[in-house]
Amino acid sequence: MNRPKITLHIFSTLDGKNNYTAPSVGISDESWVRDYIEIHRKFDKKATFVGRTTAEEEYAHFLLPQIEQTDEKISREDFIADNGTSSKYLVALDSSGALKWTTNQLSLWDSTHVNHTEKEDIAHIIEVLSENVSDCFLAHLRKIGVSYIFGGKDSIDLPLVLAKLKSVFGIDEAIIGGGAILNGSFHAHGFIDELSLYLVPVIEGCTDEKTIVEVLPKFGVPIPVGYKLKNMQAYGNAVHLLYEC
C-alpha cells in the first residue's frame, strides 16, 4: 500500500454531528473530551491529520506572527526541516497557506504549553500546500523550521500527498482529527481503513451543523462504504465503537 494506514477518529452526537459539546441544548461534559483525547493517544499513530479550519481553531487561532515581505523567489520543492526530538507529526492540509504558525512543533493537546506536556505528545508540523502559495509564506515556514510538501498546482492531490508522507517521512499509520470536509475527502478516495467513533448521548437536531463526514461535489456522488465492528467500550453514558473496513 503506497500510503499510510488511516484511522478516522470522530467525536459525534447521536444524530451524527461532529461537535465536542452540545451548547444548543445546554449539555456539556468535560469527561467526554478527556475520553476522546485518551482514545486518540492510545492509538499512538505517528501522524495526525487536520484540515485548515480545525488547525486554526485548535492550534493556530492565537498565533499572529508578522509575515515578512520578501523579493526572494522560492522554488516549489518540498522542504524537510529538522524535527528535533519530535517523534510524531501534525499534518495540516492548508492549500492556500493560511495558517500562521510561530513554532515548528507543538503539543497535540495543548499547543500553548509545549513544555508542560508529555514528550510523546509533541509533534513536528508539516504543512501540505498547493503551489499557488506566496513566497513570503514559504520563507516564513523555512525561517521557523516548519516542514512543507506540495500536493498539487492549484489544489491538493490526496493520493500524492499520502505517498510523499510515507516515502519521505516514514509515516506508515496516521489518524485523522479533522472536520467533516477533511473526513469526506478521505472517504471519497476510499482511504479510511479504520473508523473510531466516540458517541456521546446527545441529540442536537440542528440543521446548520455539519455531520461527521461530508463529501464535496467535486468528488462526485459519494460511494457507501461498509465497516465491521472490531470492539466497543462504554465510557459512562458515552460509547466508543471501533470498526474496520
Question: What is the Cα–Cα distance from 196 to 129, expressed in whole angstroms?
Answer: 27
Structurally, the chain folds into a number of domains equal to 1
Each residue's pLDDT tens digit, 189-227:
999 999 999 999 988 787 777 889 999 898 888 889 999
User: What residues contact 83, with CB distance under 8 A and at least 6 apart?
Assistant: 89, 104, 105, 124, 147
pLDDT-derived band at 21, boundaries 50, 70, 90? low
Residue 11 lies in a domain: no
Q: What does the pLDDT read at residue 228?
A: 97
**Coil, strand or helix at 150:** strand
Residue 197 lies in a domain: no
Report yes or no on whether pTM surpasses 0.95.
no
Q: Which range marks the domain in which residue 154 is found?
A: 19-182
The answer to whether residues 135 and 70 touch, using CB atoms and an 8 Å cutoff, is: yes
Residue 45 lies in a domain: yes
Say which CATH number the domain at 107 has.
3.40.430.10
Inform me whether the pLDDT recorded for 80 exceeds 70.
Answer: yes
Residue 198 lies in a domain: no
Residue 83 lies in a domain: yes
- Which of these, 102, 77, 80, 78, lies nearest to 89 by C-alpha position? 80
Residue 213 lies in a domain: no
Each residue's pLDDT tens digit, 157-178:
999 999 999 999 999 999 998 7
Residue 205 lies in a domain: no
Residue 211 lies in a domain: no
